Amino acid sequence: MGKIKQLSLENYDEISKLSQFAFQYTLNSEQVSKKREEAMRHKIFGYMIDNKMAAKLHIIPLNIVINKSLFKMGGISSVATWPEYRKRGIAKKLMYHSLQEMKKMGLSISFLHPFHFGFYRNYGWELGFVNQKLTIPIENFQYEWLGKGKVRRDLNNLDLLQEIYTKFAHNYNGMLIRDKKWWKQRVLTDDEVQIAIAYDDNEAAVGYIIYKVRDDVFITQEMAYESINGRNLIYNFIKNHDSMIKKIKITVSENDMLPYYLNYPYYKQEMEPYFMARIVDVYEFLKNYPFNKVEEEINLCVEDEFYEENSSCYRITLQHGEVDIIKTNEIKGINCSIQQLTSICLGFKRPKNLYDNQLIFGDEKEIKKLENLIPRNETNFTDFF
């Protein structure tokens, strides 16, 4: 029999060896030291058999934005098992333990990047973020991006990047609220990149782009803007590289309007499933969720096959701008899985769409009430862990 144990940085050499083996990369001593420093924000659990680490899982406590409100999120990362211990249900035990721990830590929602969507769907996570990966010939990018202001390259203004990013992040559901350590450890890690900042006519910063040019390709690592003017200034800046590049590689959110603007949208457009999400603690999540300010009452019955503590019916009442959530024995109402509830609350899928596809069930009038309660906001996630 094995047991789950919280690991410390004293175990990091062993932790690192399993990560490098499982995810097939090699780090030198300096890179291991940097990863070790990153892991100081992680809570790491190992599954121990005969005092040896058979498997491990990392929880990264982070903050995200949903409908302009802050939520504590647990990022699941680096789930790995040594081959000789596989096929024993160890990963399943670690995933269950992670939910227990995240609930104790007050992390009411969780994200992860899957190696296999079906594997993590078994544990209640669901697809929540899709990216558009665009490869655009420069001649196809010839649109009059009319922006008022200018763009200047600036490599050393982290405070300004943070300010622009934070405003940008609040326009979407799911974006991280970064701190300076995250910028240095997870974002600005490539010495080859350039950073350009867009300023309006009043010298206010309204956008930025992190990029590099290699082999005639303009590669966008990240872009953020707080206005259409900022976006236009950045796109015009990209277009001005037309004498030295043949194509542009850029990743945007699932519903980004860039292809709509271009007169020649005949280029490679890939929709890439990205991160998964799941609500960890349904009661706490719903209690803090920023529903639309409408007068409604619905009964929501949630099934969580993997983490049964969430399986219950919840009566949601909005009155005079206040939300009241209670658990109830009333089984009539809307029936959905934890996966579909997560999709709805993130804004990834609308209740009506899920109802029409027989993924949630209930009276159509109740579905319309839920539609009224859930704000319309697009999901986006530009980070990785």
Query: Does residue 233 share a domain with residue 189?
Result: yes
- Specify the pLDDT at position 341: 98
**Domain at 304, CATH number:** 3.30.1050.10
Query: Does residue 308 share a domain with residue 176?
Result: no
Query: Does residue 175 share a domain with residue 239?
Result: yes
Query: Does residue 322 share a domain with residue 349?
Result: yes
pLDDT at 207 over 90: yes
Which of the listed residues 272, 307, 341 is the one where a domain comes to its end? 272
262-271 pLDDT tens trace: 988 889 999 9
* Domain around 147: 132-272
Query: Does residue 138 share a domain with residue 95?
Result: no
Give just the sign of the alpha carbon dihedral 221, 380, 208, 76. negative
Rounded CA-CA distance 170/201 in Å is 24
**Domain at 185, CATH number:** 3.40.630.30
Instruction: Note whether residue 50 is domain-resident.
Output: yes
Query: Does residue 95 share a domain with residue 177?
Result: no
- Specify the pLDDT at position 134: 98
Report how many domains make up the chain. Answer: 3
Query: Does residue 294 share a domain with residue 256?
Result: no
Rounded CA-CA distance 143/231 in Å is 13
- Specify the pLDDT at position 194: 97
273-300 pLDDT tens trace: 999 999 999 999 999 999 999 999 999 9
Residue 135 structure tokens: 């490869």
Instruction: Note whether residue 127 is domain-resident.
Output: no
- Specify the pLDDT at position 156: 82
Percent of the chain clearing pLDDT 90 (strictly above): 95
208-221 pLDDT tens trace: 999 999 999 999 99
321-371 pLDDT tens trace: 889 999 998 878 999 999 999 999 999 999 999 999 999 999 999 999 999
- Average pLDDT of 209-234? 98
Which of the listed residues 272, 298, 315 is the one where a domain comes to its end? 272
pLDDT at 308 over 90: yes
Rounded CA-CA distance 381/278 in Å is 15
Query: Does residue 176 share a domain with residue 144?
Result: yes
What's the DSSP call for residue 39?
A: G
- Average pLDDT of 168-197? 97
Q: Is the pTM of this model over 0.75?
A: yes
31-74 pLDDT tens trace: 999 999 999 999 999 999 999 999 999 999 999 999 999 999 99
- Specify the pLDDT at position 320: 85
Instruction: Note whether residue 113 is domain-resident.
Output: no
Closest CA to 79 of 68, 66, 90: 90
